[in-house]
Chains A and B, each alone.
Chain A
């Protein structure tokens, strides 16, 4: 069973890969404004990479209403 700590660890790696920045640390409160290059195009790449990492698919409504990384983690934990 995947626990929350593991999800954050793997998620952190995905963020680092996508933004090509080894210094990124995400937590539950991280939002797009916290990461300089997190624009709408990068958001699409990020969602795809997260889905791929955890083998989950977000539903349309979820992607548009997700407010921070914490919500993303909750959906992953529910579904993975």
Chain B
């Protein structure tokens, strides 16, 4: 829905929230349900109702628990029946500098202020620990915005008795906690309020009148920020930037103007804008975001433009370059197919409103930011929160390169007549075994974003994955695969629950970047091996169809499982007795 896309009209969203909600709920899309508890230190009414809109837009249907006004601490520390039985998946702690209880005075010593800081911090830390112990779920905590006034003027920021200084130190302590604890995330209202304008954000009228810690017009920004963290936790981040070239990555038309006349570099203001934008785009590679080109150009012109000496980007940075005269919606779909991602995980960046309109009308779920002028490109994309980072794994650093290695494999495949000869030539090596603690982040991330090769599409927060990891009720396997072209990292996850002599496979998924490499057979071989050693004699597999996972509809049948039942929606149950099982994978060493 356009109205909920950044940059949005806050007043419109607030005014029309009822009809927007109705429209979203009646659009016929399926959504995952999540329970979210909002514990507030100030009014949260519209924060929750606008958050609901953004989450619905992201394909998440929230059910909310909302604490009584300013009851966040009581709820967290002592609980109440309603919250306890609600059993949240995610807890939002909406606090602000209105909830800072310590006061400072000029007669205090450095030590006294440090003690006050410690007291203030533990007020929050004990609460996080308590919530973690009780619910084991993800926690999102606001940091603190800068104070409304500065008693010491500029010195307020560096004098230890200044509130500005105190809040900065308190924030640093929050960040240290976030760095050393999983499933704990900061909602950066300090940045949001600065970006919005602190004076407007903290207009005290809204506190005196309604007990809101921010002006109502800024609520959509706050809620949007929360929704971005939540959708990222649930694996709904975008994965790729698909970029137009002319007047998107450089000023001018390379085919008409020639490479030497493009606006890109340090020569003019416009050229500087494009150069900085290229740098911004390139930095996404480190986050594991893939880059591709989708442009109406002759390919040789496109490549020549990308080799411009003053640009940050070069042709090697892209996993796919589609420079041709086909309609762009078709090119977007073919890029998605080539890389094995869903088209709805792509962000399409194009300066031309007509191209944007075609792509957003033809490709469902693709994000199409409304960029207008080069000086605004970065802000528009950045504030949209497409790639909000909540988990970061080593794999992210290398993802783009892995896909480029895939392209090399495809070339090699063409030179073999027999597919298994090709597979053998890859010299594949797998490491398959129980989860390792250092990979839990990657395993959770993979679990939440795998849609196609995923039998049950069960999602886990990092906290739930950690719990599964620590429980002895499960057999868990994660598989890494490398070959002579490179390491693919962790690519497959299987979780089975032991029930007597049966193993019920609750999760079986694999990254599409290793499709058709027989990795699934290696995983099965290993699963059978593990099961035998635990006294299991039968595997029970489940297939739950979604819009995206048709490719694995027959996986268990192909494995030799017998289909036991299937309901009218296509949910099916399969069984495989372990006795007499013979190893199936011969092309991967592990």
- Among A14, A20, A64, max chain B CB count under 10 A is at A20
Determine the chain A residues whose CB is within 8 A of the CB of B570 once the complex forms: none
- Given A48-B11, A52-B11, the answer on whether A64 and B209 have CB atoms closer than 8 Å is yes
Determine the chain A residues whose CB is within 8 A of the CB of B46 once the complex forms: 41, 44-45
- Given A48-B216, A48-B217, the answer on whether A60 and B208 have CB atoms closer than 8 Å is yes
Choice from A14, A18, A44 contacting B210 with Cβ under 8 Å: A44
- Among A45, A52, A60, A64, max chain B CB count under 10 A is at A45
Determine the chain A residues whose CB is within 8 A of the CB of B45 once the complex forms: 41, 44
Interface string of A50-65 (1 = CB under 8 A from B): 0010000000100110
- Tell me if B19 and A20 are in contact (CB < 8 A): yes
Determine the chain B residues whose CB is within 8 A of the CB of A52 once the complex forms: 11, 15
- Among B15, B205, B212, max chain A CB count under 10 A is at B15
Q: Does A17 contact B (CB under 8 A)?
A: yes
- Tell me if B209 and A45 are in contact (CB < 8 A): no
| Nearest opposing residue in chain B for A16, CB measure | B19
Query: What number of residue pairs across chains A and B have CB atoms under 8 A from each other?
Result: 38
Q: Does A19 contact B (CB under 8 A)?
A: yes
Determine the chain A residues whose CB is within 8 A of the CB of B14 once the complex forms: 45, 48-49
- Given A17-B19, A44-B46, A45-B46, the answer on whether A60 and B209 have CB atoms closer than 8 Å is yes
Q: Does B181 contact A (CB under 8 A)?
A: no
| Nearest opposing residue in chain A for B16, CB measure | A17
Q: Is the interface of A mostly helix, strand, loop or mixed?
A: helix
Q: Chain B contact residues (Cβ within 8 angstroms of A): what range? A: 10 to 19
Q: Is the interface of B mostly helix, strand, loop or mixed?
A: helix
Question: In chain A between 3 and 39, which residues have their CB closer than 8 angstroms to a CB of chain B?
Answer: 14, 17-20
Determine the chain B residues whose CB is within 8 A of the CB of A45 once the complex forms: 14-15, 17, 46, 216
- Tell me if B18 and A20 are in contact (CB < 8 A): yes
CB distance from A18 to the nearest CB of B (A): 6
Interface string of B13-34 (1 = CB under 8 A from A): 0111111001000000000000
Determine the chain A residues whose CB is within 8 A of the CB of B205 once the complex forms: 60
CB distance from A38 to the nearest CB of B (A): 13
- Given A19-B18, A20-B19, A20-B22, the answer on whether A49 and B209 have CB atoms closer than 8 Å is no
Interface string of B191-215 (1 = CB under 8 A from A): 0000000000000010011101000
CB distance from B13 to the nearest CB of A (A): 10
Choice from B15, B19, B210, B212 contacting A49 with Cβ under 8 Å: B15
CB distance from B212 to the nearest CB of A (A): 8
15 A-B residue pairs with CB within 8 Å: A17-B16, A17-B19, A18-B15, A20-B16, A20-B18, A41-B45, A41-B46, A44-B212, A45-B17, A48-B14, A48-B216, A49-B11, A49-B14, A49-B15, A64-B209
Return the 7 tightest CB-CB contacts between A and B, nearest first. Answer: A20-B18, A49-B15, A41-B45, A52-B11, A20-B19, A48-B216, A17-B15
A interface with B by C-beta (< 8 Å) = 14, 17-20, 41, 44-45, 48-49, 52, 60, 63-64
12 other A-B residue contacts (CB within 8 Å) besides A18-B18, A45-B14, A45-B15: A17-B15, A17-B16, A20-B19, A41-B45, A45-B17, A45-B216, A48-B11, A48-B14, A48-B217, A52-B15, A60-B205, A60-B209
